[in-house]
Amino acid sequence: MSHDSPPVRRLADWDHDRLGRLAAEHATPLYVVDLDRVAANYERFASAFPDAHVMYAAKAHTGRAVLSKLLETGADIECAAWGELQRAIDAGADPDTLQYTAVNPPDRDLDYATDLAEEHPGLTVTGGARDTFDRLEARGYDGRVAIRINPGIGTGHHEKVATGKDAKFGVPYDEVPELAEELNERFDLVGIHAHAGSGVLHDDLDDHCRAISKVADMGRTVEDRVGGLEFVDFGGGFGVPYREDEEPLDMRVVGEKVRDAVGELEAQIKLEPGRYVVADAELILTEVNTIKETPAATVVGVDASLATLIRPAMFDSYHPIRNLTAPERAAEPVSVGGPCCTSADVFCTDRPIARPEREDLLAIGNAGAYGYELANQFHSQPRPAEVAIEGGETRVVRERETLEDVTRLER
């Protein structure tokens, strides 16, 4: 791992001149991802858990450049939908190494997974409902399965990501031992899985470790019932600091806390970081087009919107914003919003930023996790281009959509 890789990258740490050149060449809004940072984040996480099998949770960012870089770095991939399975394979993943976590899977997802497993029996399918296993069996599947359990403890930055206590996710905790015995007769039961939540930082770490401990207890119970498991998968959830005054996790300390929470376990520990790997490796460049002084606020209009980055509207998420054109200007409280006709299209309200002027270039940070993944075409806005930085070079890894792309499937 690179020794010059800090535990968090702030907006001030990016090369502002390079970002300005990229915006001039490729226009805005523009996603910029640093693939070397992606690799460094993964390596830092993996080094904190030397005895664990660390898989990247693809749903955080399924761009081919990101997946390929992580595969090159040594990561395996965990997928939550059939499209992610296919994209991982397209990026170079060996299908026998993939893990598919099915959440209320549509028929096409299960059809794809069972067809894939016929040629690649190393594929592992994780189910969170008895119904899912019945549907797998009805398709003639008798291969590798894991049970997703609901530990009843949810953690993370927002209630919408506290999956560990959401009935949508996982088999109820008390039902797991009996189901494990049953599935051990019907399939090759290789593990159990849980995911307590997402965006876990210092304040949530104790609760997260309580959930891990509870899952480990169930792992030991299931091992006693069925005679051993290959793995117990504790999911991901480890966060990064989005706010400038938040401190990053010390992964060495986190590794010790997790090992203490797990205790003695014969099965291999699996972990699935997603956000931790990609969040601070990507930002959005956006240009100021409007400055409006009102009695209530100074409104700064930009060409990015909730179609570019929906997390502030969806999760009330904080993303750092920096004026790259003139960071030395005096900071003034401003509200930054995009061109969508909804009050939800706001990136910040009354936040001190080096006073923007029209045509200034702003950067919106920590956009790598669930940024482009949730980008959309609201207001018929084509999705932005994505440029990758790697080894000092830059290249376009995702073309900017056109209006023709937005409408080409219409009839």
Domain count, the chain: 2
Residues annotated as catalytic are 341
Are 170 and 218 in the same domain?
yes
Question: What does the DSSP assignment read for 237-306?
Answer: -B----STTPPPP-HHHHHHHHHHHH-S-SSEEEE--SHHHHGGGEEEEEEEEEEEE-SS-EEEEES--T
Q: In 3D, which of 200, 207, 273, 209 has the Cα closest to residue 242?
A: 200
pLDDT at 3: 45
Give the C-alpha distances (Å, rounded to integers) separating 258 from 55, 209, 265.
16, 6, 12
Q: In 3D, which of 112, 113, 272, 106 has the Cα closest to residue 191?
A: 272
pLDDT at 166: 63
Q: Which residue type, as a one-letter code, is found at position 65?
A: A
Q: Which of 277, 305, 331 is the last residue of a domain?
A: 277
In a domain, 353, yes or no: yes
pLDDT at 196: 76
Residue 375 CB contacts under 8 Å (≥ 6 apart), including other chains: 307, 308, 309, 310, 383, 384
Residue ranges for the binding site for substrate? Answer: 275, 311, 370
More confident residue, 47 or 163: 47
Q: Which residue type, as a one-letter code, is found at position 367?
A: A
Are 210 and 268 in the same domain?
yes
- Contact status, residue 134 vs residue 140, Cβ threshold 8 Å: no
Query: Is 50 exceeded by the pLDDT of residue 157?
Result: no
Residue 215 CB contacts under 8 Å (≥ 6 apart), including other chains: 149, 151, 192, 194, 232, 234
Residue ranges for the binding site? Answer: 237, 272-275, 311, 370
How does DSSP classify residue 200? B
Are 270 and 287 in the same domain?
no
pLDDT at 398: 98
For the chain, the average pLDDT equals 94
Rg of the chain (C-alpha set): 22
List pLDDT tens digits, range 373-398: 999 999 999 999 999 999 999 999 99
Residue ranges for the binding site for pyridoxal 5'-phosphate? Answer: 237, 272-275, 370
Q: How many helices (H) and strands (E) in the chain?
A: 12, 20
More confident residue, 45 or 152: 45
Q: How far, in Å, CA of 407 to CA of 405, rounded?
A: 6
**Length of the chain counted residue by residue:** 411
Q: Which residue type, as a one-letter code, is found at position 32?
A: V
Are 296 and 222 in the same domain?
no
Task: Note if the pTM is more than 0.75.
Answer: yes
Q: For 145-167, what is the mean pLDDT?
A: 65
Question: What does the DSSP assignment read for 295-336?
Answer: SS-EEEEES--TTT--HHHHH-----EEESS-TTSPEEEEEE
What's the CATH code of the domain at 357? 2.40.37.10
Q: How far, in Å, CA of 163 to CA of 198, rounded?
A: 8
Give the C-alpha distances (Å, rounded to integers) separating 66 from 28, 238, 253, 333.
21, 19, 27, 35
Give the side-chain half-sphere CA count within 13 A for 122.
8
In a domain, 23, yes or no: no
Are 268 and 315 in the same domain?
no
Are 204 and 295 in the same domain?
no
Residue 177 CB contacts under 8 Å (≥ 6 apart), including other chains: 218, 221, 222, 225
- In terms of residue numbers, what domain contains 210? 35-277
- Of the pLDDT bands very low, low, confident and very high (cuts 50, 70, 90), residue 2 is very low
Are 236 and 321 in the same domain?
no
Sign of CA dihedral 200, 250, 231, 77: positive
List pLDDT tens digits, range 88-127: 999 999 999 999 999 999 999 999 999 999 999 999 999 9
Interior/surface letters 316-333, b for 16+ CB within 10 angstroms, e for the rest: ebbbbbbbbbeeeeeeee
Are 58 and 198 in the same domain?
yes
Q: Which of 238, 259, 277 is the last residue of a domain?
A: 277
- Of the pLDDT bands very low, low, confident and very high (cuts 50, 70, 90), residue 4 is low
